[in-house]
Chain A
Amino acid sequence: MNSTRSFRLPPQVGQPSNTASMMADVMVALLPALAMAVFFFGFRVLVLTALSVGSSILFEYGYRRLTGQSDTVRDLSACVTGMLLAMSLPATAAYWVPILGSAFAIVVVKQFYGGLGKNFMNPALGGRMLLATFPMLMTTWTQPLDRVPLWGVDAVSAATPMSYLHAGTLPPQSLGQLMLGQQGGCMGEVSSFMLLLGGCYLILRRVISPRIPLAYLGTVALIALLFPGEGTDPFLWMAAQLLGGGLLLGAFFLATDPTTSPVTPRGQILFGVCCGLLTMLLRYHSSYPEGVGWAILTMNCCVWLLDRAGMPRRFGAGHFSVLRYWIDRIRRSLAKIKFIKPQIHFSLRRDGKMPGEAHLDQIRTQAKTLASLGGVILATVLVIFGVHRFTDLDTARAETQAQQKLLSQVMPQAAFSSEIPALTAGALSIQAGYSEDTELVGYCVEVQAQGFGGVITMEVGVDLDGKVTGVAVTDHKETVGTRAMQPQFLARYVGMSGTIRPTGGNSVDAVSGATATSNAITAGVNRALAIVANLDMEGEVEYVDGEDLEEP
């Protein structure tokens, strides 16, 4: 009895007193969202959560036991980590996924640095983001109310609100659906209302301070309001940005982790604002539709700096006294750096020596070093020159062969090609393809489009009827989605003309699991078709002589 008594706080302090009760409060706050997830996605959610929590506890216990440290399972932090990890997984995740995630979260992110309170990165988020770097793991989302079976998941991928927002359009769900959680996404993050409820509970219980979530959500709302998608209502856009994706889960439960967020009030506000800025940057401009996790992880690494920046001023000190002090200090330290004019004399004759003779003496002592340096440079230059001389022709030959191979892939009916000097916006180069009897058969346009991991460069052949004769990808940075570049998928574009759309008539379906890459290739083909349509289709580039211009 005495032990429980000693933890009790005076009645004016309405805050849970120890780690275990704080963690218990967090779990209570997560329960409504978990219940909604069970309602939407079925009992598989419960199994995944149990696996995640269980394995987290097991790894924590095992690690502490093996390294001979005190047992910390009772502070419930491992349970919270496991629960948060499970809630940020898709309901279709395989059963090994939460186990791997919690192993990484508990052992590497948390215990390697000394356990609870000593880690610099949020363990649950670290585990989740490690899983997000796996290809294909975090890309299939089930439709809500489409209960997932316990075994043998056959995931029907549904577009999440975030992918609509990423493409610049409002999601089809109504605000009420977004609020209650009838949207695709991770298990725990769909039900915005329940998450808000949990967040309010935590704030009222003073487990977390409202500064980080408010600053975070406020920044996101402001940016969404200022830069809405084209042709959308700014307020609807803002609401969708706030309610979709993992923003609420991140703002209330992941960014506010006391270990990995600043402790000074100003630092907390700065932390929230920076998280919001990075999140919106990622949501608008990165290849992933969602950026909450990455933003919080990045800011976790800068907590120390933010704490320094947000240090509260001493009582009685003026408003900007600290800043003034620092500026003064920097100025004084800079004032010590004085420019001394170099002593360079160019007198013609001094001390009976010729000009520069003293310098020559100096150089003579260093001559040996300089000579060996010169020798090495000379030898290198000679080697480079020789190698270049001998391999130059081979390189040129290889280039021609590669070009010929590309031509046979892009435009099989052409025998040779030559670059035409047309400068069109969007085309890197345009080659005219000629058949054996030097008849123009079409154009090969080199275009670029933004894919998942960067720019995709491709060569598109278009014949004189404006039909695609072939597509070849020449350069890309894709890490996932390379399936869309396989020949059988590229061959689907052959014979198409006009504007190719992702759905409906005259469409090429996106390759599943490689949507961004497929869309990029389609966009590139469309651009090439448009470029060729606007070219001079007569086949002859009219050459206007300078003399003709003078007399109109």
Chain B
Amino acid sequence: MNILELAGVALAALLSENFILVNCMGIGTRARAFRNPVDALRTGYCLTAVMVLGALFSWLADFLVLTRFGLGHYRLLVLALLIPGLVAGLRKFIRVCLPELSRRMDGNLASISSNCAALGSALLISQRSYGLGSALVFALCGGVGATVALISFASLREEVSFDHCPKCFRGTPILFITAGLMAMALVGFYGLHL
């Protein structure tokens, strides 16, 4: 596997296809993750872990079963069952084996099961027919990029006051404007290639 190609995939996942700001897939996380940096960090690494595991299993399913037997039209269904099942299994495992960890981040992990980033990364991987190495790197860097975006958004909320805008913009609209401004900064990374 070409190192440069892997680096290109990694950079694309980190910046130009950021799952939160550009692809808009990771925004289905719970609202607290956008407010509290610690919660954002926890959600971020849960998301990264689920994305990497999801990429691994969906790639295996795709490679071993779906493409081999020509069942590509079932891909969406398989992914839609696989990822929440994976999250449920992970939660069960952590609850039984690592109760302290479960106490800390069960809520974050539960919110991942309906997150589009986990589903979308698996789908993107199979649509672009990445190899296993690229798929794992893509999922890992996508998760890290989403984490950084979540943390910087959450920290912005601590630092910047959102109460100075006109009344009609308060609440969600100003958050959308903020996210839009942050996404505008990433427009320059569009079409990044190594």
**Residue ID in chain B nearest A388 by CB atoms:** B73
Indicate if B188 sits at the interface (CB-CB under 8 A).
yes
Which B residue sits closest to A395, measured CB to CB? B73
A389 and chain B: residue at smallest CB distance? B73
Neighbouring A residues of B174 by C-beta, 8 Å = 112
Contact B100 A338 (CB under 8 A): yes
Summed over the interface, the residue pairs from A and B with CB atoms below 8 Å come to a total of 123
Nearest CB in chain A: distance from B146 CB, A: 14
Given contacts A112-B165, A113-B160, A453-B190, A305 and B155 within 8 Å (CB-CB): yes
Of the candidates B11, B158, B165, B185, the one whose C-beta lies within 8 Å of that of A298 is B185
B-contacting residues, A271-307, CB 8 Å? 281-282, 285-288, 291, 293-295, 297-298, 300-302, 304-305
Contacts of A388 in B (CB 8 A): 73
Nearest chain A CB to B69's CB is how many angstroms away?
13
Indicate if A477 sits at the interface (CB-CB under 8 A).
yes
Does any Cβ of A come within 8 Å of B31's Cβ? no
Interface status of B24 (Cβ within 8 A of chain A):
no
B77 engages A384 (CB within 8 Å): yes
- The reply to whether A286 and B152 contact each other, CB–CB distance below 8 Å, is no
Q: Decide: A342 near B159, CB < 8 A? Known: A294-B185, A294-B187, A297-B184.
A: no
Check A113/B185 contact, CB under 8 A, given A304-B152, A453-B191: no
Cβ of A200 < 8 Å from any Cβ of B? no
Q: Contact check, A340 vs B98: say whether CB atoms are below 8 A apart.
A: yes
Q: How far is the CB of B155 from chain A (nearest CB, A)?
A: 4
A-side residues, CB < 8 A to B, are 67, 108-109, 111-115, 118-121, 126, 129-130, 132-133, 281-282, 285-288, 291, 293-295, 297-298, 300-302, 304-305, 308, 336-342, 377, 380-381, 384, 388, 450-455, 477, 479
A-B contact pairs, 6 of them (CB 8 A): A109-B181, A112-B174, A113-B164, A297-B185, A298-B189, A450-B193
Given known A301-B152, A337-B100, contact A285–B194 (CB-CB < 8 A):
yes
Residues of A within 8 A of B77 (CB): 377, 380-381, 384
B161 — nearest CB in chain A belongs to which residue?
A114
Q: In the assembled complex, which residues on chain A have CB atoms less than 8 Å from the CB atom of B189?
A: 282, 286, 294, 298
Question: What's the minimum C-beta distance from B178 to chain A, rounded to whole angstroms?
Answer: 8
A304 touches B155 (CB 8 A): yes
- The complex places the Cα of A114 from the Cα of B177 at a distance, in Å, of 14
Which one, B81, B161, B184, B194, contacts A130 given CB within 8 A? B184
Q: Is the CB of B191 within 8 A of A477?
A: yes
Is A305's CB under 8 angstroms from B191's CB?
no
Q: State in angstroms the CA–CA spacing of A3 and B193 once bound together.
A: 57
**Contact among B98, B164, B169 for A118, CB-based, below 8 A:** B164
Nearest B residue to A336 by beta-carbon distance?
Answer: B100
**Could you say which residues of chain B place their CB within 8 Å of the CB of A295?**
188
Q: Please tell me if the beta carbons of A112 and B159 are within 8 angstroms of each other in the complex.
A: no
* A377–B74 alpha-carbon span in the complex (Å): 11
Report whether B161 and A118 are in contact in the complex, using a CB–CB cutoff of 8 Å.
yes
